[in-house]
Structure 1
Amino acid sequence: MTRADTLDLSGRVADAPADNWVDRLLPAKTRPYARLARLDRPIGWWLLLWPCWWSVGLAAVAAGHVPNVWHLALFLVGAVAMRGAGCTYNDILDRNIDAHVERTRSRPIPSGQVSTDAAFLFLLAEAFVGLAVVLQFNAFTVMVAFGSLAIVALYPLAKRVTDWPQIVLGFAFSWGAFLGWSATFGSLAVAPFFLYAGSIAWTVGYDTIYAHQDRRDDAIIGVRSTARLFGENTKLAVGLCYAATVTAFAVALALAGAGVWGFLGLALFAAHLARQVTKVTTEDPASCLAAFRSNRTAGFLLFAGLVAEALF
């Protein structure tokens, strides 16, 4: 009997939704790779996608035209591919750590569903898809996109050396805040930098909530995080992160010339974040996961406001 058999005969990862489409629809041989790419947990690529789409929307507001649908489609494909590549890379590096954490020991590599060599080949395939997407944009955007690679490479190592790995994740996950703008204008301005700063603060907030699921296991094996750092003060710290997010986004919208619709979207986004902070119970993993996943809705509210602003 393999280690995978002792964990879950279905191969399902512990924190994946029980009725996810990967486990229901994909052929059995392809499921471990889909799990490695986190296709059974789409919230990750949504969180990577939102700064890209916000940037497209913000650029559309500044330019005075509707958002570029082709750019939105490219960023969607790129977010799914690069989220998968980032997770595969992370799982290769963290395979020994994941084996000792209750929530992650059922992942494809530590559970024995995928070998390290096969995972590396899969990583190359995912990276190739991401490269193909990036090359569809103008030369300046390609150059900006490649600037994120060093940050992406450093993130899995950050939790070994700092209590703030969530900031490094924010640097990587928020990079799309530059790309939508540069894809539209072929240059950067002040507004996307504020969008980037706000996205970093947002990432630190939601990933701190997420990290509370593993706080006890992380303490045992020595993995560091803002969840462990903030401890009982997590709600206050996350609230301050979200306040910084909303403030930075407000400046970005003002610089782009947004009006009522854009700020209405921001107000709804802010209200959603405030509800997260008041409702989440950091000692309850299910509550943390639900709050974390709800950021997909938060991102949609802000994006809808930007689209409405550009249209009306």
Structure 2
Amino acid sequence: MQERLKLYLLLIRWDKPVGTLLLLWPTLWALWIAANGVPPLGTLIVFVLGTFLMRSAGCAINDYADRDFDRHVQRTEQRVLTSGKISAKEAVAVAAVLALVAFALVLTQNTLTVQLSFAALAVAATYPFFKRFFPMPQLVLGVAFSFGIPMAFAAVQGGIPPMAWWLFAANLLWTLGYDTAYAMADKPDDLKLGLKTSAITFGRFDATAVMVCHILFIGMMALAIEFMGMGLAAWIGLAVAAALCGVQAPKVFSRDRAACFAAFKSNHWVGLALFAGIALQFALR
């Protein structure tokens, strides 16, 4: 049983927390903004745990969906499901259990938050299948990775103001950018397999598209900070985030697999910088 548990932890990427952090930081931006400072402790705990659980469930269902493709991709050929260390049924069971626990947590929140959780689950569960037919599945991932924002506002304020959707759109663009860099690392393998990704759809403009998404994201966050009347701390956080996006340019334009993957992973620092600026801004009020 202990050995199975180790395999299940590998399935949910316990050893690779970047995905969880990329999902968590925008949710924390939204919680702090919605609460005008530190959110209620119970709500914060629910969203932090829920983020981890849903990202973990997403990894399990993603590996189930891609089990016949992953063995042909250099970066994923040794994953525990595609290598046969666990079965497809086990992966689905792990995803189901994690999703149920996450749903139990959401049930402690208000009705609107619970209702939004159904849409979030539907997007997360179907995203892995979009790469078979949709030319830009990274947009669907962007929706999945942005759903924590309206849910956070719903949980704290009982409604979803226009600012929540503005942040949702900004985060979607950021996700499209960094996940295109991620897809660039697998581009040769995905082309052979006939899969669809934004890196393939953008063609020779893939690296340019990554940086344009980052620029639009930073611009939209700047407008949000200005509209909310935030001060110096938030602007410093944004400036650091913009610089971190900028240093990714040489890596993505090199189109080297390892460099593109490193650029993708570095984005969690972008999210952290923005959160630090927002949280410090509210703390100084």
Gapped runs of 5+ residues in structure 1?
1-25
1:302 to 244, 265, 274: 274
- CA shift, 1:245, in A, is 0.7
Single out whichever of 282-291 and 169-178 deviates more from structure 2.
282-291
2:53 corresponds to which of 81, 84, 97: 81
Deviation, 1:27, is 4.5
SS in 2 for 1:223: coil
| Alignment partner of 2:28 out of 41, 49, 53 | 53
The one-letter amino acid paired with 1:220 is: K
Separation in structure 2 between the aligned mates of residue 287 and residue 193 of structure 1, nearest angstrom: 32
Contact 1:134-1:145 within 8 A present in 2 as well:
yes
Offset at residue 227 of structure 1 (A) = 1.2
Alpha-carbon shift at residue 95 of structure 1 (Å): 0.8
Larger deviation: 271-280 or 37-46? Answer: 271-280
Count of aligned pairs: 284
What's 2:9 paired with?
A: 34
List alignment gaps of at least 5 residues for structure 2: none
The answer (yes or no) to whether the contact 1:58–1:256 under 8 Å persists in 2 is no
Match in the other structure for 1:264? 236
Give the whole-Å Cα distance in 2 for the aligned partners of 1:161 and 1:240. 25
Q: 2:190 — aligned with what?
A: 218
1:225-240 pair list within 5 angstroms: 225-240=197-212
Q: Could you say if the C-alpha distance between residues 68 and 280 of structure 1 is closer, same or farther in structure 2, counting changes exceeding 3 Å?
A: farther
- Measured in 2, the distance between the counterparts of 1:139 and 1:38 equals 31
SS at match of 1:95: coil
Whole-Å separation in 2 of the counterparts to 1:211 and 1:246: 21
The answer on whether the counterparts of 2:207 and 2:253 sit within 8 Å (CA) in structure 1 is: no
Aligned residue identity for 1:205: G
Match 2:260 to one of 288, 304, 308: 288
Residues 26-65 of structure 1, C-alpha deviations (whole Å, 9 max, x = no match): 95332210111111111111111112111012223xx3x4
- Find the partner of 2:18 among 43, 61, 80: 43
Q: Which residue of 1 aligns with 2:105?
A: 133
Q: Percent identity?
A: 39
Query: Secondary structure, in 3 states, of the residue corresponding to 1:29?
Result: helix
Aligned equivalent of 1:4: none
Find the counterpart in structure 2 of residue 18 from structure 1. Answer: none
Question: How far off is 1:206 after superposition?
Answer: 0.4
8 A Cα contact 2:207 2:255, kept in partner: no
TM-score (norm 2): 0.93
Hey, what's the Cα distance between the residues in 1 that align with 2:170 and 2:233? 19
CA distance in 1, matches of 2:207, 2:90: 40
Q: Residues 158-199 of structure 1, C-alpha deviation per residue, up to 9 Å, x if partnerless?
A: 111122111011011111111222221111111111100010
Equivalent residue letter for 1:164: M
- Residues 56 and 184 in structure 1, CA contact (< 8 A), matched pair in contact too: yes
What's the RMSD between the two structures over aligned residues? 1.8
1:29-178 mapped onto 2 (5 Å cutoff): 29-60=4-35, 63=36, 65-178=37-150
Asked if 2 retains the 8 angstrom alpha-carbon contact of 1:59 and 1:256, the reply is no
TM-score by length of 1: 0.86
Contact 1:191 / 1:251 at 8 angstroms: preserved in 2?
no
Give secondary structure in 2 for the equivalent of 1:86: helix
- Which structure has more helix as a fraction of its residues? 2
Matches of 1:240 and 1:281, distance apart in 2: 13
Give me the whole-angstrom Cα distance separating, in 2, the residues matched to 1:300 and 1:310.
15
> Which moved further from structure 2: 107-116 or 71-80?
71-80
CA distance in 1, matches of 2:233, 2:38: 14
8 Å CA contact 1:57, 1:307 repeated in 2:
yes
1:182 alignment counterpart? 154
